[in-house]
Amino acid sequence: MATKKQIVLPIAVLAAGIALAIGFSNMKTPPEEKPAQDTRPLVAAQTVNIDAITLDVKSYGVVKPKDRTELIAQVSGQVISVADEFVEGAFVKQGDILARIDPNDYEADFIEAQAGLAQASSALEIERAQAHVAKAEWERIKSDSSDSTASELYLRKPQLAEKLARYRSAQASVKRAKRNLERTYIKAPYDAIINARTISLGSVVNPGSSFGALSATSVAEVRLPVADSEMQYLANGGVGATVTLNAEFAGKQTSWQAKVVRSEGVIDQVSRMSYLVAQLPTPYADNTKPLRFGSYINATIEGRALDNAIIVPHHLVKDKQIAILNANNTLSFKTLNIVREQDGMVIADQGLQLGEQLITSALEYPSEGMAVKTDEDDEQGEVTQLALKEDTL
């Protein structure tokens, strides 16, 4: 039969174990409650801007003079003088004498022609006097004659016509001799820059011989190729548009303002481009930045004005649609009326409103009405979680 000690001892050990288990259980920290995870995709957004712009068109070209002239001898002879400024690259004024052909023979021809004119003039005056006398004589005797009509030969009309013809021929000879004498001077036809000189002092020239070439400095021209697809952005086919020309001068980028004056009206068979012609007056007038002939330039042609232009990156537009962020942090798609795509950007005139938030982040599977969050929402969530943790502690 069990003793009292044998019964009490197991009970005491069991009670102590239960007490110890309860004590350890009370010492444990309750598990931390985790906040619900925000699975909305994080997006970046920027405010939509609407501006007034011009649909400018880019082009290029080479600067050339509007007028270029080759100086050709019209009379023959030896070159007896050449002006110091008649050298390549020199500037000359209209009427400057560049060279002179020996005028001696032409001066003699001019004097001879003047003498012939004087003789013809004298003979004409004598014939007119004789014709006047013949007419007066006929008036006196016609009353005694049965024939009241005098012959033209009697009145010296043929003789007068002959003398008049010789006089006019002599006048033409004087004019021709004077013109040939003037042609011994080789003059600049306009303000110009000398491109080339092909004669020297003592050279013998004939009609058709070249003295050189010069280019007018009054107007510079640039032919600007424009793709047919770009013509839609130019008002009036580009004629009258302002053109900004850019080129390097003295190691610095320099710009000039020109004007499109005409379109060539055809498409080049090789390049398939249309050509506009821009002009710049007095390209050498400003010595600090002359627009030199032969310069290669880049050109910006002012295009049509677009008052409500929306410009967004091309990669954000798909099938003319773009994603925006709504006030309730949901995504919506808007359809753009695209006017132009250029330099990685899309230009539209309809589809977005000023102040709307444009989603600029790349999303894998965006859908209409999808809930999203921004960096600001993410920061607020972190602040909330931190506050909860502090409250728990």
User: Same structural domain for residues 338 and 316?
Assistant: yes
Supply the pLDDT for residue 131.
74
* pLDDT surpasses 60 at 392: no
Is this structure's pTM higher than 0.85?
no
User: Same structural domain for residues 274 and 330?
Assistant: no
- Its domain, for residue 154, covers 103-183
The region, left, alpha or beta by phi > 0 then psi within -120 to 50, assigned to residue 250 is left
* pLDDT surpasses 60 at 117: yes
- Band (pLDDT 50/70/90 cuts) for residue 4 is low
- Neighbouring CB atoms inside 10 A of 122's CB total 12
User: Same structural domain for residues 315 and 288?
Assistant: no
Chosen domain end from 280, 305, 330: 305
- Band (pLDDT 50/70/90 cuts) for residue 273 is very high
User: Same structural domain for residues 313 and 273?
Assistant: no
User: Same structural domain for residues 373 and 299?
Assistant: no
Average pLDDT (217-241) is 93
In a domain, 12, yes or no: no
Report how far residue 326's alpha carbon sits from residue 294's, in angstroms, rounded to the nearest whole number.
56
What is the CA 388 to chain-centroid distance, rounded?
Answer: 66
Average pLDDT (348-353) is 87
In a domain, 109, yes or no: yes
User: Same structural domain for residues 324 and 282?
Assistant: no
Supply the pLDDT for residue 42.
83
DSSP for 35-89? Answer: PPP--SPB--EEE--EEEEE--EEEEEEEEES-EEEEE-SS-EEEEEE-TT-STT
In a domain, 165, yes or no: yes
The chain-wide mean pLDDT, for the chain, equals 85
Supply the pLDDT for residue 90.
95
Is there a contact between 248 and 297 (Cβ–Cβ < 8 Å)? no
Could you give the C-alpha distances from 8 to 14, 98, 311, in angstroms and in order? 10, 143, 91
In a domain, 194, yes or no: no
Report how far residue 41's alpha carbon sits from residue 39's, in angstroms, rounded to the nearest whole number.
6
List the structure tokens of 330.
Answer: 């949901």
SS (H, E, C) 248-309: EECCEEEEEEEEEEEEEEEECCCCCCEEEEEEEECCCCCCCCCCCCCCEEEEEECCCEEEEE
Supply the pLDDT for residue 275.
95
Sign of CA dihedral 336, 311, 227, 218: positive
Average pLDDT (59-69) is 95
pLDDT in tens, 119-170: 999 988 888 888 777 677 777 666 655 555 656 666 677 888 888 899 999 9
User: Same structural domain for residues 311 and 382?
Assistant: yes
CATH code of the domain containing 287: 2.40.30
Length of the chain: 393
In a domain, 209, yes or no: no
In a domain, 23, yes or no: no
User: Same structural domain for residues 164 and 177?
Assistant: yes
Is there a contact between 118 and 111 (Cβ–Cβ < 8 Å)? no
Is there a contact between 186 and 71 (Cβ–Cβ < 8 Å)? yes
User: Same structural domain for residues 349 and 367?
Assistant: yes
Domain count, the chain: 3
User: Same structural domain for residues 119 and 159?
Assistant: yes
CATH code of the domain containing 382: 2.40.420.20
Chosen domain end from 271, 305, 339: 305
Report how far residue 252's alpha carbon sits from residue 179's, in angstroms, rounded to the nearest whole number.
50
Supply the pLDDT for residue 384.
44
Residue whose token pair is 């003793």? 3
User: Same structural domain for residues 282 and 295?
Assistant: yes
Is there a contact between 234 and 57 (Cβ–Cβ < 8 Å)? yes
In a domain, 76, yes or no: no
Residue 353, class by beta-carbon neighbours within 10 Å (0-12 exposed, 13-18 middle, 19+ buried)? exposed
In a domain, 166, yes or no: yes
- E strand or H helix at 170: helix 157-182
DSSP 8-state class, residue 99 = E
* pLDDT surpasses 70 at 101: yes
Chosen domain end from 258, 282, 305: 305
DSSP for 111-162? Answer: HHHHHHHHHHHHHHHHHHHHHHHHHHHHHHHGGG-S-----TTTTTHHHHHH
